Amino acid sequence: QPTIGVLALQGDVREHFAALAECGARPVGVRRVSEFDNIDGLVIPGGESTTISRLLTVFDLLEPLRKKLRDGLPAFGSCAGMIMLASEVLDTRPDAEHLNAIDMTVRRNAFGRQVDSFETDLDFAGVSGGPMRAVFIRAPWVERAGDDVEVLARVPHGPAAGRIVAVRQGSVVATSFHPEVTGDLRVHELFTGIVKKLGG
């Protein structure tokens, strides 16, 4: 049974706990550097990326976490978590830090004020069982995905049609939307599977 940490500084930590437990993982909250050593993978929840960034800095977690990710810790980030995993972020605060775990440029709050929040069904590469319900809440999108980044999902229709909203690079996965709130476990299953394969 893999132990999967959920970065518990801010955001919808509890929803990820529930989804991971349903996937057969053992979720644990992570707030301290020492706790990075006892996990097989890490989830960065949705919330507010600039707040998560500030708290990572305040608690001296930023560099240790960057190192863990460089050393191959599997990670999954939803929404604000996606922003944190990016190598470049547009429309954020100038002092906001991110983790450089996926070679991508992410635009924060990309869908704009008119469509603050919305839901849609989308095709998610590599998962079976039909379209996935995706809940977007002041979500980012991926404006540039590097050569080693696999695009897993795009917005299917509407003004943002074609925008990239789920990606994977190696053992790091990110979604613009919140799979932790729909009861659809397939993204958490994908991530738990990646962690298990790596020996967790």
Q: Which positions are annotated as active-site residues?
A: 79, 178, 180
Q: Which two tokens stand for residue 136?
A: 């977007």
165 contacts ligand GLN (rule: CB under 6 A): no
User: Considering beta carbons, is residue 2 or 175 the nearer one to ligand GLN?
Assistant: 175
A 10 A CB-CB count for 102 gives: 26
> What amino acid is encoded at 191 in this protein?
F
Burial of 149 (0-12, 13-18, 19+ CB in 10 A): buried
108 contacts ligand GLN (rule: CB under 6 A): yes
User: Considering beta carbons, is residue 35 or 48 the nearer one to ligand GLN?
Assistant: 48
Q: Which of residues 124-163 bind ligand GLN (CB under 6 A)?
A: 137-138
Q: How far is the CB of 166 from ligand GLN (least distance, A)?
A: 14
Distance, CA of 177 to CA of 78 (rounded, Å)? 6
46 contacts ligand GLN (rule: CB under 6 A): yes
Identify the H or E element spanning 164.
strand 164-169
> Which DSSP category does 50 fall into?
H
47 contacts ligand GLN (rule: CB under 6 A): yes
Q: Which two tokens stand for residue 180?
A: 């932790």
49 contacts ligand GLN (rule: CB under 6 A): yes
User: Considering beta carbons, is residue 69 or 135 the nearer one to ligand GLN?
Assistant: 135
For residues 176 and 160, is the Cβ–Cβ distance under 8 A?
Answer: no
Which residue ranges are tagged as binding site for L-glutamine? Answer: 47-49, 108, 137-138
Binding residues for ligand GLN, per CB under 6 A?
A: 46-49, 79-80, 83, 108-109, 137-138
